[in-house]
Structures are given as structure tokens and as C-alpha cells.
Structure 1
């Protein structure tokens, strides 16, 4: 198992956001984490990457315990985080943003990420902040991939992007997973996330409410009613 989270509890100061959350991501698997605003989805990613120091439980990547590890050790273990809002260096070129992502393991080869996102090949000399939102998201994911991660965490991929652009980027996730990288996709658009995911979890008020394969979740009446914009299937009247 690439990522194993067991009874993870985390929050901000005295405020607990996550309550004994357990989930997993296998090698080469795309797992969606969906749920309403304020459920704790972004907090979970921050807890995995030690952006929140106050944590308890267990977080293991490829069998290595990361609770108590420093941020740089987590990166060295093969974890890459694409944060909400992308967080590029807007005044630097696309090329320089990508190179900053390659510090582990000192990988400067742009070829694989440009093959995955060919649009960036024409933008290498362009200042990142002048690109469209979709291109910036591509750059943010490509930057994370420069370190050749074992586990890729993506926070709110679709935020502020047009649906066609979201679809274009989501299609690339299968190629990423195909290299053996596990992907944990935090996404408010549950329908889009489940279309590309192998499995999924629903986080509600800091706890896992539902879990299953993507197909099982998409067919679940509770999921359909609350997150997929449709009424639950009606029971025939006999």
C-alpha cells in the first residue's frame, strides 16, 4: 500500500478538524476524497505533509511512518503536494517553476512532464503568473511531478477552472497513475472526481461517512442526493 492513514486526528490549536480518519491509496491508484466545504479535506492533506504539526494516529507512505517527520523528510519519502490555489511563483518563468520542483531527487529532466502537459512546452519562457488558470494548474501538477513522487496529493484541482479545462487535466491523471504513482485527489466536484477515480471516500465533519469503489459511490442514493445533483433512485410501487 502506498499511503495508509490510520485513525488520523488533526486540527488547528484546540480546534479538532479530523477525527480518527482512516483511508488508503495503493500504488498506481487514483482515490477521490470528496465532501462539503469545511469537512476537513484540505486539512487532511496538510496533516499528511506536516503543514499541521499537531497530529496523532499513523500516516505511512510505502511502509514508512511520517507522523513526527520533518517536511523535507516527507518530500524525500516521495510525497508531493499540489495545494489549493496552485501556489506557483508568479514572477518566475514556467521553466524555473518546474526546475524548483525537481530538487528531489535533483531531477532536471523536463521531458516527461512536458510530454504529459504539452501546452507547457510553448510556455517555458513565459512568466507563470501571466498564464491562464488552467495552464497554471498544469504547471503546478507538473512541478510536483518533477520530483518523481510515489504519492501525489492534489487539492481542489477544478477550483476556478472551466469544465473543459478540468476535463483535460483530469484525463492526465490516468497517465500519472500509470507510472505507479498513487494519487489522492481532493475535489469538491464529486461527479468529476469519481469519473477518473478507482475508489473514493466521503469526508463529512472530519469523519469518513462513505467509502467504496467509484462506481459504488456514484450509485449510492445518499451520494447521489447530497453530492451528485440528482435524486436518489425511487423504489417501484408494487
Structure 2
């Protein structure tokens, strides 16, 4: 007799996916920033209020971009909860930084804001709160701690799309927010994610890094005379 299991998740389907895929096929846009990407950027921008929205391959990719934008150096430290997915830590480890784990609260399973300050050292550069299961971390005290110590905040809001903290969308409170559209999430694209850039001064640099060091996005918007994809390696090195 075959065993029956309760599935971990059932990907949510609206019924419009097939038609939208056909539209993408007809428009010859299956990669890059086509019309559906632009619509997603616009929608996310309207619903989060973030200065810049960039779709990514995954929330992992969004975390990687955020880690690069922090300009981390070897030995720098990033505070994060001890209970999270490995991508939260890997993004910073890959930049040479050291994850500093802080325990979670029993009631929310989120980073215990009361233990953050004790974990800060002269090497601490950022705090990475994770909004577990769409439940917000206590962001007011976390933001206050970050301001006191001159730290950046990278919100891992993989599970927090359209959730909020005191009326403010998750992912739009810190310097960066990272969203996931994995099939286990509320809004899905199979795989997929987004980086929310809340510091307007970092929007262009974030786009250049996302475009592998080129100003391809600006070219297609008519703001650059460079041939797309031909920006020098030097510029990419400056960007990262």
C-alpha cells in the first residue's frame, strides 16, 4: 500500500500563467528586462515605496547583491538570527565577512532585538533581520540600534511579501530588502526574487552590478551611448 504524504506546499496558480507565457513568447522576451519585468518593477515599487526595485533570479541572488553593495571586507561582521535559511549567511560569507548569530525570540521565531547590541563589535557592519513566515521583526528598535552604531540593515523578507510592520511594507524599512518568489511563497515564479534598494544613491550602482558591470539598463532607456554589454571591466570593479 502506497504511503500518502501531505505535500509541503502547493504552488498557487491564478489561471493566467499560460496566456502570459504565450504573450512573452510572441514578444520574443523570455530573458532580460522585458515588459513583464517592467510591470513587476512598477508594481513592487508602488506597493513597497522602495527607491529602486530589481528582479533577480532568487532571493539568494538579491542577498548576494545586497552583500556586494555593503562593500564588505574580510573580517567584517554581520549580525543575523541563528534560525534562518543558509542563503542569509552565505551571501555575506562569500564576501569574506563573518556571520554573528544571535538567538531568536520564542514568540515570533525572529531575531531577538534585545540581544543585538551585545553582539556588536568594532567589526560589525550590518544587521540582517529575517522576517520569518511573514511575521515582522521588531524593526523600530533594530533601526534605532543600527543608527546608534552606524550600521546598514539588510532585511531578509523572503517570506514577507505584502506583510508590514506598523503599516510599512517589509523589505522597505532597512537599506535593502530581499524578496523571494520561490514556489513555496505566496507570490511565485517558480524561482525568482527581488532586491529592494531603499537608499536612492545606491540605485544605479545596484543596477550596474545586476547587469554584470554594464550600463545595459541605461542604454535601453536611452541614457547611455555605450554599446550594451561593452562597459569596461574597470567600471565593474569600481561597482563591486
Q: Same fold (TM over 0.5)?
A: no
Question: Which structure has more strand as a fraction of its residues?
Answer: 1
With a CA cutoff of 8 Å and minimum separation of 6, indicate the structure with the bigger relative contact order: 1
Q: Computing the radius of gyration over CA atoms, which structure comes out larger, 1 or 2?
A: 2
- TM-score, structure 1 normalization: 0.33
- TM-score, structure 2 normalization: 0.33
